[in-house]
Structure 1
């Protein structure tokens, strides 16, 4: 599967907005978005549909300037992008600061609540938890899941604790039994294999913006699937650190060309505090 096929349009859209709009109080012309995402492998109709869905979900605001429609961030999308920014540039892929604390979450749901059970397990997985036992999940560090549980309407059915393992516990074995380490390691190795050539091969100037967009979107997706397990309890040759060095090296190499391309290709306007536009407005 190619990188373009494996990345959802909304993931690329959010990455694009994080690069070009976040923190700048600007809106970007829909035609510019279509152009850049097209270079990253997303068709025009898919981009227009994604813009519309993101507006309807409160992730984007519209702003008309003459006959052109521009899109800017909302408080909700800003929060999402700030979280991604922290994960990429501050938290990192390798957990060397773990203090021995675990978050334990136990739940007991009625047998008929299959959808709620599926939703809870999915959200816990994205939050770095793994199934220690049936109905008891565990994550490294202190993980705040109060808003997640409340949003799912399961507060009365979930109990959360902080804990430390007994001195006789084999934490490495517990980690191997709870998380799919081989699958996660393979993802890091595959990422590094795909992007390693760009550490030395000069990119075409017109391709740099789309390449950086795909690079960052793919890296963010990868580290968001990583529960950030304590590195001292992982296999000795754990590949996350090497993959992160490749990400940073390629990003640094692409950035001057990508920034120059953005300056040339993007139509940006300042944010106006206007009343909300009509739902009939389209991308």
Structure 2
């Protein structure tokens, strides 16, 4: 990536988050993670703090919110600092690399319509100590991200052979987990179980909102792609962040057990076409505007 004077023509931040097209506030950390996953992951570089502030300012995030987000991510072991004179640069830790690769795979690596389900389920039971309330909340969030739903009590279920390796390899969680693969008895009403276990209205509405919001842009009929500058990067960040917000509430359930008008495929088509319109110019902008230094000496 080429060096540039970060801070030139910087837009004024609007606060702690950026407003998306439907009025939803995009959290600075979500925008930051997509920035890192799209423009830093795999490059073996650290990025100058001023460059990051500039880009997120164009996405509507204030300088103070960006600095606070960077500091919190350092504290959580996701970023590390490097200094060159008076300048501060931020690079990915190994932990961040794993997290971002997982997120990128979710964003770009699989379809949102589960048409290849083989009829099997993954069952995960957990029983954490009463003192582990925070850990329990974190576990439930991680299970939801992996497509699990609460079947009953501490028993969660996901379609197919769900990948639970990051949970079972966690030494603090593994002693409290039990994982099984199974099929349902013919007497089980799968459709009813799905309706009682997962919220289908929320992902359906999210897919429809995304489709309607980006449809014209994806088709090239409304909204031009910015020229190679920070606005192009900001546009792609908003697109990626909004899409990730949509798919993270979708448990990726078997298509045969979803309503016939399930809107996931149409929304994904819009995302793919919109991303294709902006990806090249955004990457060229990042290469030109982001000031970097090697991740290691």
Q: TM-score, normalised by structure 1?
A: 0.87
1:108–1:30 CA distance, 2 compared to 1 (3 A): closer
1:159 is matched with which residue?
178
Q: What are structure 2's unaligned runs of at least 5 residues?
A: 1-17
Q: Contact 2:39–2:283 at 8 Å: present in 1 too?
A: no
1:9 to 7, 12, 28: 28
Q: Give me the whole-angstrom Cα distance separating, in 2, the residues matched to 1:68 and 1:125.
A: 39
Deviation at 1:187, TM superposition (A): 0.8
- SS at 1:91 equivalent: coil
- SS at 1:33 equivalent: helix
1:243 matches 2:267: yes
1:197 to 216, 219, 224: 216
2:86 to 60, 67, 70: 67
- SS at 1:61 equivalent: strand
2:234 is matched with which residue?
210
Q: Contact 1:120–1:152 at 8 Å: present in 2 too?
A: no
Q: Contact 1:102–1:138 at 8 Å: present in 2 too?
A: yes
Q: Give me the whole-angstrom Cα distance separating, in 2, the residues matched to 1:272 and 1:129.
A: 39
1:262 is matched with which residue?
286
**Larger helix share, 1 or 2:** 1
Q: Deviations over 1:98-117 (max 9, x none)?
A: 21110112345677865555
Q: Give me the whole-angstrom Cα distance separating, in 1, the residues matched to 2:138 and 2:294.
A: 39
1:219 is matched with which residue?
243
2:167 is matched with which residue?
148
Q: TM-score, normalised by structure 2?
A: 0.83
2:75 is matched with which residue?
56
Q: Contact 2:203–2:247 at 8 Å: present in 1 too?
A: no
Q: Deviations over 1:114-135 (max 9, x none)?
A: 5555444333223211122233
Q: Give me the whole-angstrom Cα distance separating, in 1, the residues matched to 2:204 and 2:196.
A: 15
Q: What are structure 1's unaligned runs of at least 5 residues?
A: 274-283
Q: Give me the whole-angstrom Cα distance separating, in 2, the residues matched to 1:112 and 1:88.
A: 35
1:84–1:168 CA distance, 2 compared to 1 (3 A): same
1:92 matches 2:114: no
Q: Give me the whole-angstrom Cα distance separating, in 1, the residues matched to 2:83 and 2:215.
A: 42
Taking the TM superposition and a 5 Å limit, the aligned residue runs for 1:25-174 are: 25-108=44-127, 117-145=136-164, 147-148=166-167, 151=170, 153=172, 155-174=174-193
Q: Give me the whole-angstrom Cα distance separating, in 2, the residues matched to 1:132 and 1:124.
A: 12
1:58–1:99 CA distance, 2 compared to 1 (3 A): same
Q: Give me the whole-angstrom Cα distance separating, in 1, the residues matched to 2:58 and 2:239.
A: 13
Q: Deviations over 1:215-246 (max 9, x none)?
A: 11221232222211111211111111111111
Aligned length: 273
1:230 matches 2:249: no
